[in-house]
Structure 1
């Protein structure tokens, strides 16, 4: 069985998507104004079909973590992740406001909705702290495949990014690991879970796994991972699945992807596009990635997750 999807603009700063009256998510396109948090559009709250929350917002340990958001922790000396910047093994993390950039929502090119699919297409500009426009982005977010029997739905997130720097310089994408911190390759599309998801179970195609077993795994070896946890307040569990589109893993991808995932001390996962090595995007050139996030009620195991993902078309 399917539920009817609907969408509404709310307060002039977000688009909400609901299924049979349950709000599934809000895409906030007029982001929080705090410069140190690298203002950028994000999805929060993110909920299951029964309304259980599966995203965290401005947690006390990382105020710049906001639900599901596109980030770039190290980009040509700028920080589009937010917060403190990792400067290397000797200086480690420092408060460097002049390194923190932002992403400007320039408008929606399309907002489409019917009973089975909601799609948002938008244009953004990545802006360095100096005010220089560095990148132009075409973004897509689509909610689809609502399945009430499975208790799940899918959301696809696409990015097409172009280097538009006026100085003609390349964009160099990296991470704390490329800057010298071991196994801290966070960057790219990032999810932050709610506080009660701390200590949740990580899933991989081969079975349940610990953080240390999954961290840094190549997406070519595990094209999806999952995260399942128990809620506070309600007697319920929820599961999220994070999956790469096939072209992300092919020879035309701009760079190989790896997984960043933790259940402790914080619940988070990221599709890292520059975990171990930097890559460059020359001036005037572009790259694209597509990702999928499945949000489900209940504690799924890896076999159920694999079967469900296999049944979804890209």
Structure 2
């Protein structure tokens, strides 16, 4: 299926399927509230039928914005947004800890009839204005397929420490809160995905939080329309050899969210001048897929 791309310069990039449905909007103009950790994000993400599978600024967590790169605990700073977890004190409003990810420009655009890829350069800036890291981010829209009623988004990150000291990555769990290891690439589902079903190969549903595996899927029924959708989150093979192993952060209640957590149970450090990289795939599909269909579909999408 062919796709169309539009660019509102300084604002966002949008991708539409051949039927006119806007399936992706990548917003790189920062939102106004610094407490929400200004950064680019993808919202809305929609199925080919036009059903939205991301949430934006929900009342429970205003800093949750579609699909976005985060770092909840980074050398004492919060690149997730919102309240910061402090052991023994709980979550506190500490705006002096909230950093941002600055869009510096796009270094590459590549568009064919059925595939669109771009490369973005960003800088991670701590609250006081010091530049801590340079990021090269890649997004690719591909495999837009009417037969399977699905499409795929690949998201890559290459992060380099530009400080003169190590960057220390952690999470609320490494700071003392049990089973709250959120950080890394994070998806927030829409309100009607609350109570949806998450599943992964070889893992019982009640044991998904903090588990590991090649992929995890989330399926739910929409309000307003008689439809279900499925969102699949998958690791690229090379993530197994990344600087630090990843675990799933996943909730269906009290709100729907999934994160590729790169520091769930243990902190890790990135030395000055050193880099790390991860690559992810998100499949957005109409209908309620089961584990067999997810596995078969992913097998048919080579990296």
Q: Map of 1:119-138 to 2, 5 A cutoff?
A: 119-138=117-136
1:12 & 1:256 partners in 2: Cα distance? 35
1:213 & 1:264 partners in 2: Cα distance? 14
2:32 & 2:278 partners in 1: Cα distance? 27
Q: Aligned residue pairs: how many?
A: 302
Q: How far apart are 1:12 and its partner, in Å? A: 3.0
Q: Map of 1:115-264 to 2, 5 A cutoff?
A: 115-165=113-163, 168-206=164-202, 209-210=204-205, 212-218=206-212, 222-250=213-241, 253-264=242-253
What corresponds to 2:3 in structure 1? Answer: 5
Unpaired runs of 5+ residues, structure 2, are none
Q: How far apart are 1:111 and its partner, in Å? A: 1.6
What corresponds to 1:99 in structure 2? Answer: 97
1:133-157: CA deviation from partner (whole Å, max 9, x where unpaired): 0000000000001111100111000
What corresponds to 2:48 in structure 1? Answer: 49
What corresponds to 2:300 in structure 1? Answer: 311
What corresponds to 2:72 in structure 1? Answer: 73
Unpaired runs of 5+ residues, structure 1, are none
1:39 & 1:259 partners in 2: Cα distance? 24
What corresponds to 1:14 in structure 2? Answer: 12
2:221 & 2:25 partners in 1: Cα distance? 22
Q: Secondary structure at the match of 1:304?
A: helix
Q: Secondary structure at the match of 1:71?
A: coil
How does the TM-score come out when normalised to structure 2? 0.98
Q: Alpha carbon RMSD of aligned pairs, Å?
A: 0.9
2:30 & 2:221 partners in 1: Cα distance? 29
Return the match for 2:264 from 270, 275, 293.
Answer: 275
1:83 & 1:121 partners in 2: Cα distance? 28
Q: How far apart are 1:11 and its partner, in Å? A: 5.8
How does the TM-score come out when normalised to structure 1? 0.95
1:154 & 1:95 partners in 2: Cα distance? 36
Task: Write out the 4+ residue segments of structure 1 that deviate beyond 6 Å after TM superposition.
Answer: none
Say whether residues 1:290 and 2:279 are aligned partners. yes
Q: Secondary structure at the match of 1:150?
A: coil
Q: How far apart are 1:206 and its partner, in Å? A: 3.1
